[in-house]
Amino acid sequence: MGYYVKVEKGVNIYVEDINPASTKTILFVHGWPANHQMFEYQFNHLPAMGYRCIGIDIRGFGKSNRPWDGYSYDRLADDIRIIIDTLGLENITLAGHSMGGAISIRYMARHSGHQVAKLALIGAAAPIFTQRPDFPYGKTIEEVNNLIESTYADRPKMLSDFGDIFFARYLTKSFIEWFHGLGLIASGNATAKCLVSLRDEDLRNDLPHIQVPTAIMHGKQDKVCPFVLGELMHQSIQNSILIPFEYSGHGLFYCEKDKFNQELARFIG
């Protein structure tokens, strides 16, 4: 079942709601530069295991509206709050991948974990996506600036190049084309402005505010958000567990989809 939730004037967020009769709800927040369809292989199986799966397209991506502004973590976290309240969700698992993980962390700090019982961080772009003088991990600022420039110059090629480092297993040509298409659907402006947020935002002060059980699921071969980021989050989040995916890159939800679905279901209970 698909519908829209209004988060501010002129901005409607697309919501895919699968198995809404279940009381065990997982709200999925996708990563840059895709949309909720990246979780297709979770939506195929988890509802059959008794879970309500809600996927959203963050503003600027998928079927959601494409405002010119509003791509800071604060605004994107506020959108999540409005969706949770509008749908009347309670005691949910918030599951965020990559930038969606970063938005989820900001939500937990900014909104005091409102109605979230458990948190799943999936290859999350945190504590910081880019290197700092006191943080020698992740992408360099120059690398992200190049992605921004490439977005404005030749976005299809940028997406294709990014897709080449996303997964750590053999993929069919058809799957690569499908996944590439998820990024092409997005607004070019949103694609670039979310890269600015990824480059500039710092979540180190947000992590101690997370007070719920947290599963940190991270690929050991991740070339986008290296595994050390998962280790650092584990050190900073109380009551967290780190679940390594030995054979996965950034796309662990597909590289090891059976293990991913089992681990997520085991964590939620």
Angle between helices 99-110 and 73-87 (to 10 degrees): 70
Angle between helices 188-200 and 99-110 (to 10 degrees): 60
- Interstrand relation of 2-8 and 11-18 (parallel, antiparallel or unpaired): antiparallel
22, burial (CB in 10 Å: exposed 0-12, middle 13-18, buried 19+): middle
Give CA torsion, residues 229, 230, 233, 234, to 10 deg.
Answer: -140
Task: Tell me, yes or no, if 250 is annotated catalytic.
Answer: yes
Cα 53 from Cα 43, distance rounded (Å) = 7
The token pair at 71 is 């791509």
Of the residues 57, 97, 98, 248, only one is catalytic, namely 98
Give CA torsion, residues 96, 42, 139, 106, to 10 deg.
Answer: 0
Nearest to 212 by CA among 131, 45, 94, 53: 94
Task: Tell me, yes or no, if 240 is annotated catalytic.
Answer: no
Of the residues 78, 222, 240, 248, only one is catalytic, namely 222
Task: Tell me, yes or no, if 98 is annotated catalytic.
Answer: yes
Cα 48 from Cα 207, distance rounded (Å) = 33
189, burial (CB in 10 Å: exposed 0-12, middle 13-18, buried 19+): middle
Residues marked active site are found at 98, 222, 250
